[in-house]
Amino acid sequence: MVSYELGQSMNTISYRGKKFTSSCLSCKDFLNCCGSSTSTEFDGASPTKKKVGLSRRDFLKIMGGVSAVLAVAPFAVAGQYLIPQVPKTFQQQLVAKTSDIAVNDSMFFWFPFTTDPTYTNILIHLPPDLAKEAGSEFVAYNRTCIHLQCLTSYLPGAEIIGCPCHGSIYRPTDGWPIGGPAAEIGRYLPNVTLKIDDGNIYAVNVNLDDIGYGNTTPPDW
Amino acid sequence: MATQRSQTESKSPVQLLIDWLNQRLERTIFLGLKFTLPKKFVSPLGFLGFLTFSTFAILGISGALLMLYYSPYVFFNTVTGAVQSPYDSVQLINNVYPFGSVLRNIHYHASNAMVLLATAHMFYQYFSGRYKLRYEVLWVTGIIIGILTIIEAYTGYDLVLNVRGMLAINIGRALARSTPFMGPMAFRLMAGTGLSDLILRFYSVHVFIFPMLMILIMMVHFPRYLVLDIPVVSMVSGVILVTGGLFPVELGAKFIPTAQAGITMPEWYLTGMYAIIRTGIDKFLAGAVIPLIFVIVFLVVPFLDTSRKLTIRDRPFYTAMGLAGLGQLALTTVWGFRANDIFMALNSIPQLEINPYIFFGSVVFIGAAAYGGTYVYFKSTAPPPGARPTHGRKQFPIYKLTGNEWRAIVISLLGFQVLFDIYSVQAFFSGFKNVVLLQIGIGLIAFGILAHLYRIGAE
The CATH number of the domain holding residue A159 is 2.102.10.10
Structural domain including A72 reads 3-81
In terms of domains, do A74 and A114 share one?
Answer: no
Domain membership flag for residue A87: no
In terms of domains, do A99 and A199 share one?
Answer: yes
> Does A116 contact B at CB distance below 8 Å?
yes
| The pLDDT of residue B62 is above 90 | yes
- Please tell me the distance in Å from A205's CA to the nearest CA on chain B: 16
Residue where a domain stops, chosen among A51, A81, A111? A81
| The pLDDT of residue B126 is above 50 | yes
Q: Tell me the per-residue pLDDT of B223-252, one tens digit each, with 9 for 90 and over.
A: 878 888 888 898 899 999 989 888 888 888
Judged by CB atoms closer than 8 Å, whether chains meet at A114 and B171 is answered as no
The pLDDT confidence band at residue A27, using thresholds 50, 70 and 90, is low
Most A-contacting residue of B80, B87, B169, B170 (CB-CB within 10 A), to test interface: B170
Strand partners, A66: none
In terms of domains, do A201 and A99 share one?
Answer: yes
- To the nearest 10 degrees (0 to 180), the angle between helices B195-204 and B183-191 is 80
Tell me the domain boundaries of chain B: 43-267, 270-382, 403-457
Specify the pLDDT at position A1: 43
Most B-contacting residue of A109, A144, A149, A155 (CB-CB within 10 A), to test interface: A149
Percent of chain A with pLDDT over 70: 76
- Please tell me the distance in Å from A186's CA to the nearest CA on chain B: 11
A120 vs B contacts (CB less than 8 Å): 257
Domain membership flag for residue A86: no
Whole-Å CA distances, B215 to B11, B135, B157, B300, B326: 37, 19, 21, 23, 27
d(CA B353, CA A166): 8
Specify the pLDDT at position B315: 85
- Please tell me the distance in Å from A98's CA to the nearest CA on chain B: 19
Cα R_g (chain A), whole angstroms: 36
Q: Tell me the per-residue pLDDT of B351-391, one tens digit each, with 9 for 90 and over.
A: 778 888 888 999 999 889 988 888 888 888 877 776 666 66
Exposure letters B356-370 (e unless 16+ CB within 10 A, then b): eeebeebbeebbeeb
Domains identified in chain A, total number = 2
Collapsing DSSP to helix, strand or coil, A143 comes out as coil
Collapsing DSSP to helix, strand or coil, B405 comes out as helix
Smallest Cβ–Cβ distance between A151 and the set B76, B187, B257 belongs to B257
B78 vs A contacts (CB less than 8 Å): 110, 114
> Does B201 contact A at CB distance below 8 Å?
no
Report the candidate in B243, B190, B295, B218 with the shortest Cα–Cα distance to residue B60: B218
| The pLDDT of residue B55 is above 80 | yes
In terms of domains, do A122 and A199 share one?
Answer: yes
| The pLDDT of residue B447 is above 50 | yes
In terms of domains, do A112 and A193 share one?
Answer: yes
Beta-sheet strand order (sheet of A18-20):
A3-5, A12-15, A18-20
d(CA B232, CA B365): 38
B183 vs A contacts (CB less than 8 Å): 209, 213
In terms of domains, do A98 and A205 share one?
Answer: yes
Task: Identify the top-confidence range among A3-7, B105-109, B245-249, B447-451.
Answer: B105-109
Domain membership flag for residue A11: yes
Contact of B298 with B325, CB cutoff 8 Å: yes
In terms of domains, do A24 and A70 share one?
Answer: yes
Q: What is the dihedral of CA B322, B326, B328, B331, to 10 degrees?
A: -160
Q: What is the arithmetic mean of pLDDT over B189-213?
A: 92
Most A-contacting residue of B74, B173, B195, B284 (CB-CB within 10 A), to test interface: B173
User: What is the phi/psi pair of residue A105, to 5°?
Assistant: -120, 170
Residue where a domain stops, chosen among A81, A102, A129? A81
**Of the CATH numbers 3.10.290.20, 1.10.10.10, 3.30.1330.20, 1.20.810.10, which one belongs to the domain with range B43-267?**
1.20.810.10
In terms of domains, do A107 and A185 share one?
Answer: yes
In terms of domains, do A135 and A203 share one?
Answer: yes
Predicted TM-score of the model (pTM): 0.80
In terms of domains, do A105 and A190 share one?
Answer: yes
A106 vs B contacts (CB less than 8 Å): none
A164 vs B contacts (CB less than 8 Å): 260-261, 349
Cα torsion angle, A53, A54, A56, A57, sign: positive
Peptide bond into A218 cis (omega under 30): no
